[in-house]
Amino acid sequence: MAKFDYTKNYAKKLDKLDNLAQYREEFYTDKTGIYLDGNSLGLLSKRAEKSLLDLLDSWKRYGIDGWTNGENPWFYLAEKLGGEMAPIVGANAKEVVVSGSTTINLHQLVSTFYKPENQRTKILADELNFPSDIYALKSQIKLKGYDPKEHLIEVKSDDGHTLNEADIIAAMTKDVALIVLPGVLYRSGQVLDMKRLTEEAHKRNIVIGFDLCHSVGSIVHELSEWDVDFAFWCNYKHLNGGPGSTGGLYVNQRHFGLEPGLAGWFSSRKDKQFDMDHELTAADDAGAYQIGTPNIFSMAPIIGALSMFNEVGMKQIREKSLKLTSYFMDLIHVELDGFGLEIRNPIEDYKRGGHIYLEHPEAARICKALKADGVVPDFRTPNGIRLAPVALYNTYEDIWNAVQILKSIMREEKYKKFENKRGVVA
């Protein structure tokens, strides 16, 4: 049975009842269009813009002294932002640092934690993971002198969209040295039970880490409570840190003191860094897993972006996100029945991340038609359409309008004007 009224007036009523509605004004939204691609790149907020301009001004005002002067001294910014990001991932302040990028941080963490010996030589991942993670894992296996064809285990999906956690646990065999899995699958938006998987890995003395790119800022995490060994993520999707913004990583405090696999001068303890010794004195917290000089202007927007998340709290953001995606799915069932669009994301709230995932044989051209009519979606090869209503800036009326536009495209077959082929950037 449907949960919602289907009129535009009902969507407007839901918006009036939304206790996060005021945050939409914090963002630069296109008043004539509907942005539903926040799971790829979040929109610019006025706070993020201000924090970027503030750090640009600190360079203008202080020159090199900006490293230690101003409201946000650059030398300590990675650790400061880590502390502010810690509540979002459910960690202690010293367990998180803002540094590197997703793949650089994955390389760092695998270099640190992947220690093949005796029969434990394999890395366990999954076949639905984002390609960059698999590339990195294969290269790390090669660097240790092993063949990825034999030493990378990719858990299979039964349906091509989701993973069965029982299958993952069954693959935690005695030859596995390390596990790397997504917190939320990038295509289908399935949420994995990180707590359960961590418990099962530790029962078998296996180190486990998670890629949080599609879960950070979207769902609630309790990394420290779950005793996760490590995690890594980007900050430009749900956290709205800007294109290519600096990533983040988490290392459980019980691993502090473990030598970083890829050392650099920002791995140093702060008071020793400028001694210029050729023997590293590594930081005694997550800061040890930095490598090189931080990209200050790629970190700057994160300052403003994080302030909103810590003001609102992840619980409220998650609650609204689930309401938005539930409403979206319900409208699709009613308004788009018979057009061949299949919902492939999990239906259950506890299994669904912050986006919905549709499949259609003409997905590439449907996405082009949506853009032409003012809706920004995300296409995933070969036939997937991702749509992400973001809690801080999307409305129920956005969703209602987007569904009506998609209905018009399908009913009138407007998509046939476009080639069924992805663009250079999909």
Annotated binding-site residues for pyridoxal 5'-phosphate read 102-103, 130-133, 211, 214, 236, 265, 293
Rounded Cα gap, residues 126 and 124, in angstroms: 7
Beta bridge partner(s), residue 357: 386
User: Token digits for 258?
Assistant: 């473990």
Closest CA to 78 of 313, 285, 311, 312: 285
171, 141 Cβ separation under 8 angstroms: no
CA–CA gap between residue 277 and residue 257 (Å, rounded):
18
Burial of 423 (0-12, 13-18, 19+ CB in 10 A): exposed
For residue 382, whether the previous peptide bond is cis, meaning omega lies within 30 degrees of 0, is yes
| CA-based nearest residue to 213, from 171, 177, 188, 185 | 185
- Measuring CA to CA, which residue among 215, 276, 271 is closest to residue 248? 215
Torsional sign, CA 143, 144, 150, 153: negative
Residues placed in the known binding site: 102-103, 130-133, 211, 214, 236, 265, 293
Question: Distance between CA atoms of 261 and 109, rounded to whole angstroms?
Answer: 7
Strand partners, 248: 98, 233
Compute the distance between CA of residue 76 and CA of residue 285 in angstroms, rounded to an integer.
Answer: 13
The radius of gyration computed from the CA coordinates of the chain, to the nearest angstrom, equals 22
Alpha-helical regions (H) of 184-222: 194-203
